[in-house]
Homo-oligomer: A and B are copies of this chain.
Amino acid sequence: MSIAKPQPAGETGLAQFQYLRLADSIEEKISKGVYRTGEKLPSIRTLRSQAGVSITTVCQAYGELEKRGLVVPRPKSGYYVKPRLNSILPLPTVRRHRVKPEKVQVNVLAETMQETIDDQSMLPLGTAVPPADILPSKQLTASTRTVAARYLKGNNIGYGSPGGLDSLRRQIAKRMSGCGVQCSEEEIIITNGCMEAITLCLRAIAGPGDTVLVESPTFVCYLQLIEDLNMMALEIPTDPEQGIDLVALAEAVNEHDAHACILNPNFQNPLGFEMATDNKKQLLKFMTERAIPIIEDDIYGELYFGNTRPSLMKSFDQEGLVLYCSSFSKNLAPDLRVGWTIPGRFTHRVQRLKFNSTIASSKLNQMIIDDFLANGHFDRHLRRMRNTIQNRLVTMARMIANYFPASTKISAPKGGYILWVQLDDKVNGFDLFHRARQEGILILPGEICSSTGGYKNCIRLSCCHPWNEKMEEGIKKLAEIIADLWGVRG
């Protein structure tokens, strides 16, 4: 998480000043549109001549701009203005519905989706699982082989500590500390992925009949869980750029009895927004005054497109009311199912539920992640992955702008790899889902991201897969079906 300090260049302190000044001037030109998104920037030699500085200074200036998230290097080609999403298509509109606790019934719809979840022949725009080409498979394999040799032949092959592998928890605690969350390894509980973390946390803080606040639209698995646990969902209107509507939230909490809250403040699934730090603090203060615990799902937190990782609600939590949940599933190794939670004042209760429902998480898998992290591969991998997924997301957004009807609206994620697409009111996302599936394309109908019956004209697309001809054909095909559905129903 540490940001490398720039090396002092040249003979004097002036050089250091120069590269920052050069970076600032390029940034200004980018923001004024002199250099446009995706455009190639002047070569290092050209810029050296133009600005009358050394090659070192130019290189450092581009390095600085890269850190600022404004430019991206392409091997053997030079520097390019980094693509940005928010200019491609308008944002989806905020849905203003009557805010009241709802009995959730999304499982049957969601199960239609799951049937084909592992079908490798389908175009995988449905589930948000990172493909192998952006994962560090080679190093993971090496870690697995190292661990297998040491561990399985050893003597300590049992269930391990119910809270998880101590060394992995120490490494996680260190990373969390880099995000402003100070916790000891004992406060971290390793889980079978983030979803087990959320399940255990929700079971720890609420019971059948209780009301759970969520963003609207929200992640379908939260709703499925709320349904399974016979709880009620209270969906709060949510802005695709600002996040949950704090005024609507306050009204809802004052009007209805809420017992818990599941939020996704950084790179929300499905809208991709990043909540402003002030809003996070305000929301936390409000909930703390009412003693309503918050489950903060930060599974996409490491996949930011800005300069630095956004703030965590957990880092402002003085009362232990935030139950932080995350995992390595979206950014390193989906299948190893290694997640964790820092449940604050509910640690003991979550620990108990963890032990009593699955005893412990596989130590082998924890050791693989532990070895990988200890070898220092993770941050380098993440830097590469952030660049790649942002490019893929932008490419997808451009293709949607190219092929989909002009009235289409899309989200402008600040991180993660999910796009929320709002189609014309006449297009039903479930019809689109069924038709697309027949054509070998998986998408997620927006309707299942809510229990209010809204978002019928929305779909969610997962955009982490490499762009290729098949993908472009898929997007074209989706556009055709949309046109067809629009025509039929228009």
**B-binding residues in A (CB < 8 A):** 107, 111, 114, 117-118, 120, 127, 129, 131-132, 135, 137-138, 140-141, 144-145, 148-149, 152-162, 192-193, 195-196, 199, 203, 207-208, 221, 224-225, 228, 230, 333-337, 352-353, 355-365
Closest to A141 in B: B152
Residue of A127, A144, A145, A230 ringed by the most chain B CB atoms within 10 A: A144
Given contacts A141-B149, A145-B148, A161-B118, are A199 and B154 in contact (CB under 8 A)? no
| 28 A-B contacts (beta carbon < 8 Å) | A107-B352, A107-B356, A118-B158, A118-B162, A131-B155, A132-B154, A132-B157, A137-B152, A137-B154, A137-B157, A141-B148, A145-B149, A157-B333, A158-B335, A159-B334, A192-B192, A192-B361, A195-B359, A199-B358, A203-B228, A225-B356, A228-B353, A228-B356, A228-B357, A335-B362, A337-B358, A362-B362, A364-B365
- Residues of B contacting A138 in the complex (Cβ-Cβ under 8 angstroms): 153
Please state if A144 and B137 are interface contacts (CB–CB under 8 Å). Answer: no
Give the docked Cα–Cα distance between A470 and B283 (Å).
Answer: 58
Closest to A362 in B: B337
Give the docked Cα–Cα distance between A392 and B474 (Å).
Answer: 62
Give the docked Cα–Cα distance between A337 and B333 (Å).
Answer: 17
Given contacts A199-B358, A359-B193, are A157 and B135 in contact (CB under 8 A)? yes
Given contacts A334-B159, A335-B159, are A357 and B207 in contact (CB under 8 A)? no
Copies in the complex: 2
Q: Is the interface of A mostly helix, strand, loop or mixed?
A: helix
User: Per a CB cutoff under 8 Å, which of B159, B199, B230 touches A117?
Assistant: B159
Please state if A129 and B153 are interface contacts (CB–CB under 8 Å). Answer: no
- Residues of B contacting A156 in the complex (Cβ-Cβ under 8 angstroms): 120, 132
Please state if B145 and A356 are interface contacts (CB–CB under 8 Å). Answer: no
Closest to A368 in B: B364
- What's the least CB distance linking A48 to chain B, in Å? 42
- Residues of B contacting A193 in the complex (Cβ-Cβ under 8 angstroms): 358-359
- What's the least CB distance linking A336 to chain B, in Å? 6
- Residues of B contacting A111 in the complex (Cβ-Cβ under 8 angstroms): 352
- What's the least CB distance linking A145 to chain B, in Å? 5
User: Per a CB cutoff under 8 Å, which of B107, B149, B195, B357 touches A225?
Assistant: B357
Please state if A221 and B356 are interface contacts (CB–CB under 8 Å). Answer: yes
Give the docked Cα–Cα distance between A486 and B132 (Å).
Answer: 63
Give the docked Cα–Cα distance between A299 and B261 (Å).
Answer: 38
User: Per a CB cutoff under 8 Å, which of B152, B221, B358 touches A195?
Assistant: B358
- What's the least CB distance linking A371 to chain B, in Å? 12
Given contacts A117-B161, A158-B334, are A362 and B359 in contact (CB under 8 A)? no
- Residues of B contacting A120 in the complex (Cβ-Cβ under 8 angstroms): 155-156
Please state if A336 and B364 are interface contacts (CB–CB under 8 Å). Answer: yes
- Residues of B contacting A360 in the complex (Cβ-Cβ under 8 angstroms): 337
Closest to A337 in B: B362
- Residues of B contacting A361 in the complex (Cβ-Cβ under 8 angstroms): 192, 337
